[in-house]
Amino acid sequence: MARCVRPVVTLGVLLLTLSGCGLFQREERAAWRGQAEKVCLAEGRIRASATLRELSPIDGPGTCGMEHPLRVSALKDGAIPLDKAVVIDCPMVAALNDWLDSVVQPAAMARFGVAVSQLDVFGAYSCRSIDNMAGRRLSEHAFGNAVDVSGFELADGRKISIVRDWKRADTQEAAFLREAQAGACGVFTTVLAPGADPFHYNHFHLDLAMHGRTNTGLRRYCGPRPAQDLLPPPARPDGLPPAPDVEEPMDVSRARHAAPAFAASPVDLHGPNFAFPAAVGQEETRLVAPVLPPAGDIDRAPTSSSDASDDE
């Protein structure tokens, strides 16, 4: 009996020894993730509400999870609902709010004259590998540090779908989506849009992965390269009343060569001949020069009461 017990005891001691050396220690999440959550919360970048509430910590499986998960059904303090609730961390909520304020809403107002009223999403937290492919490292979705955006709804009810509208060249919808993607590249550290790879043909992948730093700040990955030659936004009404209907001003240079409305009499260089054109619709009448009295009958006395000598 003792012979059977001794090997079991020996194996137990060996396992405890290996455990103390770290062979069976679970892998830990990167420390920067928890630190980013705490800083975001301490700075008050989000505010708890009926549409944003904190959940219990998610710890595993493996390194999946987050210390302060948030269930979010609307952004911007409830002003911009999501079409479905997602679980993400505080930095992602703050970044999405910044993106809406600085990029999405200005672009929507410029191109459509109305704001975005809803954000459509595929999902957020999911303990999985990148692109759900076996053998690849964990996705940022596994840490609640990513969101997949599939489209937008405008305040007038119009829907903008990435899978449908991204490829419609020379439309305001396509230009808006490209502006939204280009602006996202300055807010998030990873942006993947249609054309980046076969997996993102129908959505924007937005995350805050830590790719390292450069001398200009955080290293970012943005694909595909944002377009530069976008369709310009339509001209917006200026609110002024319409201009009244007026006749086109006459071009004097052209009027010189136009046919006259009536034939004028020739000009006498020695004085007027009192020949005027007849009035429209009336018979012609000729004016006669006035008849003056004989020279001896003309009174040459001054008509003024003043002395005539004063005028010399």
Q: Note down pLDDT in tens along the chain; length 312 residues.
A: 445 545 444 444 444 444 444 444 568 999 999 999 999 999 999 999 999 999 999 999 999 999 999 999 999 999 999 999 999 999 999 999 999 999 999 999 999 999 999 999 999 999 999 998 998 999 999 999 999 999 999 999 999 999 999 999 899 999 999 999 999 999 999 999 999 999 999 999 999 999 999 888 899 999 999 988 899 999 877 777 776 776 656 555 555 555 555 445 555 555 555 555 555 555 555 555 655 566 555 555 554 444 444 444
Q: What global pTM score does this model have?
A: 0.70
CB atoms within 10 A of CB 275: 12
Helix (H) or strand (E) run with residue 21 in it = none
- By DSSP bridging, strand 159-161 and strand 146-154 are antiparallel
Task: Please list the alpha-helical segments (H only) found in the chain.
Answer: 2-20, 31-42, 90-99, 105-112, 162-165, 172-184, 252-255
Residues 6+ apart with CB under 8 A from 170: 231
Residues 6+ apart with CB under 8 A from 77: 47, 49, 51
Cα 110 to Cα 108: distance, rounded to the nearest angstrom: 5
Which structure tokens are listed for 239?
Answer: 């609110």
Which structure tokens are listed for 156?
Answer: 């007038």
80 bridge partner residues: 75
